[in-house]
Amino acid sequence: MFVVALTGGIASGKSTVCNMLARKGAFVICSDVLAREVVEKEKPAWKDIVAHFGDEILDQDGEIDRAKLAEIVFADAEERVFLEGVTHPRIFQRMAETMREIDAGTGGDAVVILDIPLLVEARAGGMFDYNLVVDASPQVQVERLMADRGSTEEEAWARMNAQVPREERLACADLVIHNEGNIADLQQEVDKAWETIGALARRGR
């Protein structure tokens, strides 16, 4: 099994790249999906988060309101550190369990893409076979946040500034996928990346 960690800043195009790689035959594990699983109602992480932030971060069904929680943690670095301390270990545990299932089901003959937006923040860049960074300029990211997610410019820059600097993500990259053009340009970038990953995976088998 060849394990690729994929990361990138907010609105860089990580999900689109993951979808493209999945169509190529990669097994994609999305940390955001796992993050939703580990904080489901009454699970241990849910209890820890509610005990710390209070019932006001819950929706009418008792589930964590991700928008409310995001508003708090993006405005307060200490609160963000607390949340990451609660969720990251559990997310990585679920990743490991899923990878074991894939490994058993494929006899080890698989390329696994781990979509980890906070790879650098979690200091996990050295844990995997290969690090792939999806990159776009900060201005492009802000424009996408405003156009696609309805953020104000101030909100978009606040989200951007809460993440590690672009230079730190690029420093951990074995390969960079540039995403500032159209979808055809991005597909070409992904095609080239997949060729590189495939060659490395075959070499390691």
β-sheet bridge partners, residue 113: 4, 28
* Confidence (pLDDT) at 122: 81
Question: The dihedral of CA 55, 60, 64, 66: what is its sign?
Answer: negative
Q: Is the dihedral of CA 54, 55, 59, 63 positive or negative?
A: positive
**85 close to 73: Cβ distance less than 8 angstroms:** no
What's the pLDDT score for residue 121? 83
What is the spatial distance between Cα 182 and Cα 99, in angstroms, rounded to a whole number?
32
- Give 138's pLDDT tier (boundaries 50, 70, 90): very high
Domain carrying residue 28: 2-204
Determine the pLDDT at residue 104.
Answer: 93
Model confidence at 136, pLDDT cuts 50, 70, 90, reads very high
115-131 average pLDDT score: 89
Question: pLDDT tens for residues 180-189?
Answer: 999 999 999 9
Whether 88 and 122 have beta carbons less than 8 Å apart is answered as yes
| Residues 63-80: tens digit of each pLDDT | 999 989 988 998 898 999
Q: What is the pTM of this model?
A: 0.85
- DSSP class of residue 144 equals H
Distance CA 25, CA 13 (A): 19
Query: Is the pLDDT confidence value at 17 over 60?
Result: yes
Any idea what the CATH number is for the domain that residue 16 is in? 3.40.50.300
Structural domain total, the chain: 1
Q: Which CB contacts under 8 angstroms, 24+ apart, belong to 155-158? A: 158/74, 158/75
pLDDT of residue 205: 52
Strand, coil or helix: 128: coil
Least-confidence region, from 94-108, 116-130, 184-198: 116-130
Q: Is the pLDDT of residue 144 over 90?
A: yes
Helix (H, G, I), strand (E, B) or coil at 134: strand
Work out the average pLDDT over 3-30: 96
Q: Alpha-carbon dihedral of residues 66, 16, 190, 121, nearest 10 degrees?
A: -10
Please state the rounded mean pLDDT for residues 46-53. Answer: 97
**pLDDT tier for residue 162 given thresholds of 50, 70 and 90:** confident
Which pLDDT value is given to residue 132?
Answer: 97
Residue 166 clears pLDDT 80, i.e. is over it: yes
| Distance separating alpha carbons of residues 196 and 143, to the nearest angstrom | 31
Cα angle vertex 119, ends 116, 122, to 5°?
Answer: 125
Say yes or no to pLDDT of 97 above 80. yes
Share of the chain above pLDDT 70, in %: 99
